[in-house]
């Protein structure tokens, strides 16, 4: 506790404006501040890597959603992993690796009052890499696990469709679906992602939503055609990460008593003309089906159980993971976030803040 933090400078990304449509670099500003020593009962954490998530776009909007928006001027919210630099809490030692709501900054000062609710959880690199702790063993994996098992309620032999199939949530949803005995069809953008999902992850098929359609047909006809080919008997569970036209295409093919898990709608987050509602929602009536939203935080008490199960699958090789780790530190945050919305990333997008 004798180390002098006065020499450290905390580079941060703070929210400067509420974006309309796609965020632009000017919606944030760079800030630098001194690093205070931790208070009694608190921690100082050096941030190593942060998770880049579609949900970040929603946090930039005004108005309460499932979580309060980031206030203008505040450090941009992010989940991340860091190393304890200084501890005044008996449960943590210098050098411990922790995950938590670090924010887009180099140093995370955790006050004593946050050590319970939004406080850091220790992570164990024997169970997975830092990238995997932000992916399969982190929020995306927890989302996949509880969304599929608790909202999707799968029964062996059913057909599961998952959009964003090579993304953070989708890759775990699909592999968990295979472990649970489902037929799994992914939807992803581009032949490389589709090939990876089928050949490496073992999905039964993957539909390339970017595949060129015949002249004169709309782009998402590739999805409709793919669903007809790969889900000839219809869809029992749809795990939706994207919304929009793809949600409508799947609704048109759901089976009796289907379950649609609304996990996200990345195609709609930047829609400045407003969200497009699913025109085919009356398929829910015809098919006596259900569409249900989920927020991962509701399952926090059961994270340890899910982490243990998923870490077991990583260890025995039944589950693979792919992280797209971008170097560049906090300054690279705006450009990295935009890669999510263009679909450029391949796998769970992670921004490295400091080398391990």
Q: How many CB atoms lie within 10 A of CB 58?
A: 17
CB of 77 to a second copy, least distance (A): 16
Quick one: 113 or 298, whose CB is closer to a second copy? Answer: 298
CA-to-CA distance for 173 and 301, rounded, in angstroms?
Answer: 20
Q: How many CB atoms lie within 10 A of CB 155?
A: 11
Quick one: 63 or 157, whose CB is closer to a second copy? Answer: 63
Stretch that binds a second copy, among 15-23, 222-230, 267-275, 305-313 (CB under 8 A): 267-275
The separation between CA 102 and the C-alpha centre of its own chain, rounded to angstroms, equals 16
Which of positions 127-146 make contact with a second copy (CB under 8 A)?
none
Cβ atoms of 239 and 147 within 8 Å: the answer is yes
Quick one: 65 or 305, whose CB is closer to a second copy? Answer: 65
Cβ atoms of 236 and 158 within 8 Å: the answer is yes
Which of positions 58-77 make contact with a second copy (CB under 8 A)?
65-66
Applying CB under 8 A, among 289, 310, 311, 319 the residue interacting with a second copy is 289
CB of 157 to a second copy, least distance (A): 22
CB of 279 to a second copy, least distance (A): 4
Q: Is position 220 an interface residue for a second copy (rule: CB under 8 A)?
A: no
Query: Six-digit token pair at 324?
Result: 């797209």
Applying CB under 8 A, among 32, 124, 218, 292 the residue interacting with a second copy is 292
Q: How many CB atoms lie within 10 A of CB 62?
A: 9
Quick one: 70 or 110, whose CB is closer to a second copy? Answer: 70
Write down the H helix ranges in the chain. 55-59, 130-133, 139-146, 168-179, 191-195, 221-230, 244-251, 283-286, 303-315, 333-342
The separation between CA 128 and the C-alpha centre of its own chain, rounded to angstroms, equals 17
Per-residue HEC secondary structure of 28-95 comes to EEEEEEECCCCCCCCEEEEEEEEECCCHHHHHCCCCCCCCCCCCCCCECCCCEEEEEEEECCCCCCCC
Applying CB under 8 A, among 53, 236, 248, 324 the residue interacting with a second copy is 248
Quick one: 102 or 241, whose CB is closer to a second copy? Answer: 241
CB of 293 to a second copy, least distance (A): 3
CB of 65 to a second copy, least distance (A): 5
Stretch that binds a second copy, among 5-13, 205-213, 284-292, 327-335 (CB under 8 A): 284-292
Quick one: 245 or 323, whose CB is closer to a second copy? Answer: 245
Stretch that binds a second copy, among 21-29, 82-90, 272-280, 336-344 (CB under 8 A): 272-280
Instruction: Give the binding-site size for a second copy (rule: CB under 8 A).
Output: 32
SS3 state at 19: coil
Which of positions 157-196 make contact with a second copy (CB under 8 A)?
none
Summarize the chain as % helix, strand, coil (round to 5): 30, 25, 45
Q: Are strands 80-87 and 43-51 parallel, antiparallel or unpaired?
A: antiparallel
Q: Is position 249 an interface residue for a second copy (rule: CB under 8 A)?
A: no
Q: Is position 285 an interface residue for a second copy (rule: CB under 8 A)?
A: yes
Quick one: 270 or 280, whose CB is closer to a second copy? Answer: 280
Q: Is position 278 an interface residue for a second copy (rule: CB under 8 A)?
A: yes
Contact residues toward a second copy (CB under 8 A) are: 65-66, 243, 248, 262-265, 268, 274-295, 298
């Amino acid at each position: 506790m004798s180390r002098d933090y006065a020499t450290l400078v905390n580079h941060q990304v703070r929210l400067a404006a509420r974006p309309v449509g796609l965020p632009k670099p000017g919606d944030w500003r760079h800030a630098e501040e001194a690093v205070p020593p931790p208070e009694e009962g608190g921690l100082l954490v050096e941030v190593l890597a942060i998770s880049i998530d579609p949900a970040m776009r929603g946090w930039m909007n005004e108005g309460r959603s499932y979580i309060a928006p980031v206030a203008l001027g505040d450090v941009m919210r992010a989940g991340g992993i860091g190393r304890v630099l200084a501890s005044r809490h008996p449960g943590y030692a210098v050098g411990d690796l922790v995950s938590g709501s670090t924010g887009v900054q180099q140093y995370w000062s955790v006050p004593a009052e946050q050590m319970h609710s939004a406080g850091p959880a220790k992570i164990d690199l024997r169970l997975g890499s830092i990238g995997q702790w932000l992916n399969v063993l982190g929020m995306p994996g927890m989302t996949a696990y509880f969304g599929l098992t608790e909202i999707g309620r799968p029964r062996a032999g059913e057909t599961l469709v998952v959009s964003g199939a090579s993304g953070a949530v989708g890759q775990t949803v699909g592999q968990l679906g295979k472990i649970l005995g489902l037929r799994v069809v992914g939807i992803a953008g581009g032949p490389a992602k589709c090939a990876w999902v089928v050949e490496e992850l073992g999905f039964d098929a993957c539909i390339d939503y970017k595949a060129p359609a015949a002249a004169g047909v709309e782009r998402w006809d590739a999805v409709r055609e793919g669903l007809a080919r790969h889900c000839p008997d219809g869809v029992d569970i749809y795990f939706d990460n994207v919304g929009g036209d793809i949600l409508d295409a799947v609704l048109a093919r759901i089976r009796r008593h289907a379950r649609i898990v609304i996990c996200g709608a990345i195609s709609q987050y930047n829609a400045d003309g407003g969200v497009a509602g699913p025109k085919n929602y009356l398929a829910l009536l015809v098919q006596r089906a259900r569409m249900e939203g989920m927020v991962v935080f509701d399952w926090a008490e059961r994270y340890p159980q899910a982490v243990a199960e998923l870490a077991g699958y990583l260890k025995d090789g039944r589950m693979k993971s792919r992280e797209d780790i971008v170097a560049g530190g906090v300054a690279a945050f705006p450009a990295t976030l935009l890669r999510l919305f263009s679909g450029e990333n391949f796998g769970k997008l992670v921004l490295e803040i400091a080398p391990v």
